[in-house]
Amino acid sequence: MDLRSDKPYALLRHGLGYVYPSLRKNLQADVAIIGAGITGALVGWHLIQKGIQAVVIDRRHAGMGSTAASTSLLQYEIDTPLHKLIGLVGEKNAVLSYLLCRQSIYDLHDICKQLPTKPSFLLRPSFQFASYNNSVKDLEREYGLRKRAGFNLQLLSAPDIKQRFGFNKPAGLLSADGGLVEAYELTHALLKHGQDKGMLVYDNTMVTNIDYEGKGVVLQTEWGYTVEAKQLIIACGYESQQYLPKKIERLHSTYTIISEPLYATEFWYENALIWETANPYLYMRASPDQRIVVGGKDDLFYNPARRDANLPRKSKQLEHSFCRLFPHIPFRTDFAWAGTFASTRDGLPYIGSIPERPNTWFALGFGGNGITFSVIAAQLIRDMLSGKKNTNNQLFSFNR
């Protein structure tokens, strides 16, 4: 698949990161992980902490799939609001999913502190405004449900919003729990630390076939070498669909711009992550290097040529939408990129196994909150493979 346009900002900023060899010998390992994006890196890192020997293999350079394009907002609010998710999966499961996403932000913060390269992690509030007057009722309902579930958030009125953010919107939810970490930088930090602890990483190595033999799996790679493993993790991002018997993803195209550096430390109230109730939604965040990232204007299609051809027009639209909210900020687009992303029916990820593929676990953090889902996937898989009971595994299973 063509997952993104050529020059996402994270790639320009951080360059190649660490490089890894391609696989040029046959290998045996406890666990093989296909995919060295943020998901594969997190899974491998969690396994190696438990002393489980893992080998991570990627057909591209590490982190160069969707991870390089990510705008890296960390929010527990998934694309499906809690009041709608309750209708789809029931109140208990919906609330638990939200709570796990919130916890994963803090878990990721802790992980970043443990990594020797110290990828920059910022805790930020998250602010969702009502795009239209007719979305206020839903937002109030959402507020009531989330408060009841114990979330720390405030319902802001139009004057509150004007005072804190400077723009006119009828209502909004300000949540205390959110964050920011660059997924691409973090991926390299995790892989490097994992490698220092004994994890094996090979990039530029495509897995061309998976054989299910005896008690484990045998991966065939493009150079003719094999990897034998007792367990397999599929962390191939949106390219994982090929390994599943049923279609679970809907593919979209999304667009992002980043401003020139603006030499200010606070652009709006606590530099909160900002998004809205409209679907598709506009979102924005300030970055540690004093730029502003704005994304959205999604299209419901997978067509990389059309997606990339749309980029100049979508960039102008994003800049225009930002300047309407913040006319006093002299935003000038410095870089723009486009990517593909996948959503699921209920907005939740798929984490678990299917009968057709024994000894195989899928870690598919589809949706706007892919990074927090990847943390949950890594924790669930670590627990399953280390024999620890984790009662949350049904929440994201394929037969939910």
Ligand X SMILES: Cc1cc2nc3c(=O)[nH]c(=O)nc-3n(C[C@H](O)[C@H](O)[C@H](O)COP(=O)(O)OP(=O)(O)OC[C@H]3O[C@@H](n4cnc5c(N)ncnc54)[C@H](O)[C@@H]3O)c2cc1C
CB 28 within 8 A of CB 229: yes
Residue least distant from ligand X (Cβ):
370
Taking the complex as a whole, how short is the minimal distance between the CB of residue 349 and ligand X, in angstroms? 9
Encoding tokens for residue 92?
A: 């208990």
- Asked if 100 touches ligand X (CB under 6 A), the answer is no
Q: How far apart are CA 292 and CA 299, in angstroms?
A: 22
Q: Which of 97, 135, 175, 256: binder of ligand X (CB under 6 A)?
A: 256
CB 326 within 8 A of CB 268: yes
Number of residues forming the site for ligand X (CB under 6 A): 40
Q: Which of 183, 227, 325, 376: binder of ligand X (CB under 6 A)?
A: 183
**What's the first-to-final CA gap in the chain, in angstroms?**
28
Instruction: Cis check for the bond before 280: say yes or no (omega within 30 of 0).
Output: yes
Helices (H) and strands (E) in the chain, counts: 9, 19
For the segment 184-223, give every residue that binds ligand X (CB under 6 A): 206-207
For the segment 25-54, give every residue that binds ligand X (CB under 6 A): 34-40
- Asked if 108 touches ligand X (CB under 6 A), the answer is no
For the segment 119-138, give every residue that binds ligand X (CB under 6 A): none
* Of 77-85, 146-154, 236-244, 383-391: span binding ligand X (CB under 6 A): 236-244
CA angle 61, 65, 66 (to 5 degrees): 155
Q: How far apart are CA 81 and CA 346, in angstroms?
A: 10
Q: Which of 58, 77, 185, 346: binder of ligand X (CB under 6 A)?
A: 58
Q: Which is nearer to ligand X, 52 or 186 (CB)?
A: 186
Q: Which of 236, 272, 274, 380: binder of ligand X (CB under 6 A)?
A: 236
* Of 87-95, 193-201, 302-310, 361-369: span binding ligand X (CB under 6 A): 361-369
Q: Which is nearer to ligand X, 54 or 57 (CB)?
A: 57
How many other CB atoms are found less than 10 A from the CB of residue 292? 25
- Asked if 60 touches ligand X (CB under 6 A), the answer is yes
Quickly list H helices, the chain. 9-14, 38-49, 82-89, 91-114, 136-148, 158-165, 183-196, 304-325, 370-385
Q: Which residues bind ligand X (CB under 6 A)?
A: 3-4, 34-40, 57-60, 64-67, 69-73, 183, 206-207, 235-237, 239, 254, 256, 339, 341, 365, 368-372, 374
